[in-house]
């Protein structure tokens, strides 16, 4: 077995700096539609109106996500204005907090090298980098899951009341980000697994957990009050097509269990194997190591003769949380690739421990396999860049060569200098993901974002005094495509048209500015409106890239048009 010698401080902090820097390049990209645009407009309205109780989207009552991420966005809007940074920076800071807690959690039970490698694995997982660019709830929720895991593990190990309070506070934050099911199914299930497999059953019945429950309820009460005030206190409101919708019921049941059982207002059609294959690319380049680490941990657990035997793992919270959420989400009928991001820190700990326990021969084989994965992935992203041909193609190719050569020189030629083969493998994978993250945020997507029509139209109108006026969005099928990015980035008021009579009423007072599609513009002309087209903007669903779109020869056939028009 190899000696789990830690990475040198210079090497670890150099790699960690590269990981943080490449994730923070997300600030170079505007907000991406659709979900980012939706959440950004919800926060913008809260900021402009000062109403932190009632959530609105498209000028109608909105019941979906809890308020905490939006309140954090509002806080940064007060400092930075309605900008890209105000929306993304809170999530990126939460990502930084997740790195910190991943290290601290691993350090509780593992050698330093495991904590170091786990932190780097988590920070370079492909979908973590992507989620810091395409910001939703996951960067916030990841912090609010790994944070309580650390503090509650400290409590189990005899920590003071300080950890009980912080663990309860962060659990409440998780609930005010996504609802109550996820923290219970991850941290709660993980604690049960840890106590069960280490023979510490008595820990589960300690009165302090009752105190933790009371504290969590106290901390989450502002969200419950807001939900009650917006919905339960007003049964006359129509939400999801019916009256009497309970915000509290939605929070405790429909928002998550309703999706899981597929009997709530938000439904889907899940595949039990969805996350099995999704993790292969979402956890790139670490997926095979994570699967191997989990498989070995489970098999060793089943081979134990009795609970008093030496545990195969120093702790079982990681395994319990990772498996429980994987099973829960796989059984759900409502599935999205980013759902499992929140347990990536636990997967990273399992993977790092697995690597630290390998023999030199086995580690060499894994290093060769991971290097092949890196070469294939590097070739793929280079091919995508060349196929798309962005404006900064040459700069992107230079980036690939520069980072690639640096990685080769440092982690091939000088690898004996590090004294630990794990450092060589980890360094190569960090180099790969610096290339991938840089290509996404610095070279590829800056060019692709020109097809986010609403954002481009807002920038166009903001720079032309004659167009700086209230904009009306017309065409229900277009809401959620490019209206949200226009609504967020415009400096002027916006309104949604839900009935043609509304547009007829406002045009009686003079011409109005409308963002719509050519099809809807033609329908306005047929209804007797005078439509003067001011500018046209190409649109594509930029978060769902296809080969047809990436290929310049076939790209025009994938585009849709939005027009800024004057209607009277």
Q: Which pLDDT tens digits describe the chain residue by residue (568 residues)?
A: 445 688 989 999 999 999 999 999 999 999 998 889 999 999 999 999 999 999 999 999 999 999 999 999 999 999 999 999 999 999 999 999 999 999 999 999 999 999 999 999 999 999 999 999 999 999 999 999 999 999 999 999 988 899 999 999 999 999 999 999 889 989 999 999 999 998 888 888 999 999 999 999 999 999 999 999 999 999 999 888 888 899 999 999 887 776 666 665 655 566 788 888 889 999 999 999 999 999 999 988 887 655 545 567 899 999 999 999 999 888 877 777 778 899 999 999 999 999 999 988 899 899 999 999 999 999 999 999 999 999 999 999 999 999 999 998 888 765 555 557 899 999 999 999 999 999 999 999 999 999 999 999 999 999 999 999 999 999 888 888 889 999 999 999 999 999 999 999 999 999 999 999 999 999 999 999 999 999 999 999 998 999 999 999 999 999 999 999 999 9
- Residue 72 tokens read as 């954090």
425 and 389 housed in the same domain: yes
User: Hey, is 537 helix, strand or coil?
Assistant: strand
Tell me whether residue 14 is in a domain. no
Total number of domains constituting the chain:
3
- Residue 179 tokens read as 């609802």
Last residue within a domain, chosen from 450, 481, 511: 450
Last residue within a domain, chosen from 330, 356, 382: 356
136 and 213 housed in the same domain: yes
464 and 554 housed in the same domain: yes
d(CA 385, CA 392): 10
Last residue within a domain, chosen from 337, 356, 375: 356
535 and 459 housed in the same domain: yes
d(CA 280, CA 290): 10
- Whether cis (ω within 30° of 0) applies to the bond prior to 34 is yes
Q: CB neighbours (10 Å) of residue 362?
A: 14
413 and 471 housed in the same domain: no
What CA–CA distances, in Å, run from 354 to 99, 123, 393?
A: 19, 18, 39
266 and 178 housed in the same domain: yes
- Are 203 and 159 spatial neighbours (Cβ–Cβ below 8 Å)? no
242 and 378 housed in the same domain: no
398 and 479 housed in the same domain: no
345 and 457 housed in the same domain: no
389 and 426 housed in the same domain: yes
Tell me whether residue 81 is in a domain. no
Q: What integer pLDDT is reported at residue 212 of this predicted model?
A: 96
Tell me whether residue 49 is in a domain. no
- Are 71 and 88 spatial neighbours (Cβ–Cβ below 8 Å)? no
146 and 261 housed in the same domain: yes
Tell me whether residue 74 is in a domain. no
d(CA 373, CA 378): 8
Of 306, 301, 308, 355, nearest to 323 (Cα)? 301
141 and 271 housed in the same domain: yes
Tell me whether residue 107 is in a domain. yes
Tell me whether residue 18 is in a domain. no
- Are 319 and 193 spatial neighbours (Cβ–Cβ below 8 Å)? yes
- Residue 324 tokens read as 């429980």
What backbone phi and psi angles, to 5 degrees, belong to 202? -60, -25
What CA–CA distances, in Å, run from 470 to 33, 59, 132, 184, 415?
A: 22, 14, 32, 45, 61
Domain that holds residue 515: 452-567
For the question of whether the overall pTM of this predicted structure is more than 0.75, the answer is: yes
Tell me whether residue 5 is in a domain. no
Tell me whether residue 469 is in a domain. yes
- How many CA within 13 A on the CB side of residue 133? 25
């Amino acid at each position: 077995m190899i000696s789990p010698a830690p990475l040198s401080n210079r090497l670890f902090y150099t790699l960690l700096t590269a990981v943080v820097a490449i994730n923070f390049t997300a600030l170079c990209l505007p907000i991406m539609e659709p979900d980012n645009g939706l959440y950004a407009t919800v926060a913008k309205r809260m900021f402009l109106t000062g109403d932190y109780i009632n959530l609105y989207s498209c000028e109608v009552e909105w019941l979906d996500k809890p308020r905490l991420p939006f309140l954090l966005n509002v806080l940064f809007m007060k400092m930075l204005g309605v900008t890209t940074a105000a929306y993304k920076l809170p999530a990126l800071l939460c990502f930084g907090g997740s790195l910190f807690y991943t290290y601290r959690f691993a350090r509780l039970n593992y050698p330093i090298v495991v904590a170091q490698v786990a932190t780097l694995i988590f920070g370079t997982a492909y979908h973590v980098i992507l989620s810091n660019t395409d910001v939703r709830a996951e960067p916030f929720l990841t912090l609010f899951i790994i944070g309580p895991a650390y503090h509650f593990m400290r409590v189990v190990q005899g920590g003071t009341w300080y950890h009980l309070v912080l663990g309860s506070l962060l659990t409440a934050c998780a609930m005010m980000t996504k609802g109550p099911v996820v923290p219970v199914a991850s941290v709660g299930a993980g604690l049960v697994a840890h106590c069960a497999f280490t023979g510490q059953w008595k820990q589960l019945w300690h009165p302090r957990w009752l105190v933790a429950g009371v504290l969590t309820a106290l901390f989450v009460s502002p969200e419950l009050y807001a939900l009650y005030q917006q919905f339960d206190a007003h049964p006359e409101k129509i939400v999801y097509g019916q009256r009497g919708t309970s915000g509290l019921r939605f929070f405790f049941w429909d928002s998550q269990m309703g999706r899981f059982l597929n009997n709530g207002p938000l439904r889907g059609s899940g595949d039990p194997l969805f996350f099995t294959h999704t993790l292969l690319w979402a956890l790139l380049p670490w997926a095979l190591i994570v699967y191997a680490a989990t498989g070995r941990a489970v098999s060793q657990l089943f081979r134990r003769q009795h609970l008093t035997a030496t545990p195969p793992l120093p702790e079982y919270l990681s395994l319990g949380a990772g498996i429980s959420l994987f099973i829960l989400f796989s059984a759900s009928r409502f599935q999205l690739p980013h759902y499992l991001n929140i347990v990536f820190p636990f997967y990273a700990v399992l993977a790092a421990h697995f690597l630290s326990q390998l023999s030199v021969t086995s580690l060499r084989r894994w290093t060769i396999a991971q290097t092949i994965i890196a070469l294939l992935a590097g070739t793929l992203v280079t091919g995508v860049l060349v196929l798309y041909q962005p404006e900064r193609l040459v700069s992107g190719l230079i980036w690939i060569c520069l980072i690639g050569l640096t990685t080769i020189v440092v982690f091939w030629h000088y690898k004996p200098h590090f004294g630990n083969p794990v450092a060589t493998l980890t360094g190569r994978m960090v180099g790969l993901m610096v290339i991938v993250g840089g290509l996404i945020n610095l070279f590829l997507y800056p060019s692709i974002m020109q097809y986010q029509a609403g954002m481009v139209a807002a920038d166009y109108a903001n720079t032309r005094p004659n167009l700086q006026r209230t904009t009306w969005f017309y065409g229900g099928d277009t809401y959620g495509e490019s209206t949200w990015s226009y609504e967020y980035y415009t400096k002027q008021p916006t309104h949604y048209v839900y009935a043609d009579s509304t547009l007829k009423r406002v045009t009686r007072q003079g011409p109005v500015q409308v963002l719509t599609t050519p099809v809807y513009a033609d329908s306005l002309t047929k209804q007797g409106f005078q439509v003067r087209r001011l500018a046209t903007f190409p649109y594509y669903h930029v978060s769902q890239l296809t080969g047809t779109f990436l290929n310049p020869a076939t790209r025009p056939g994938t585009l849709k048009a939005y027009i800024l028009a004057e209607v009277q």
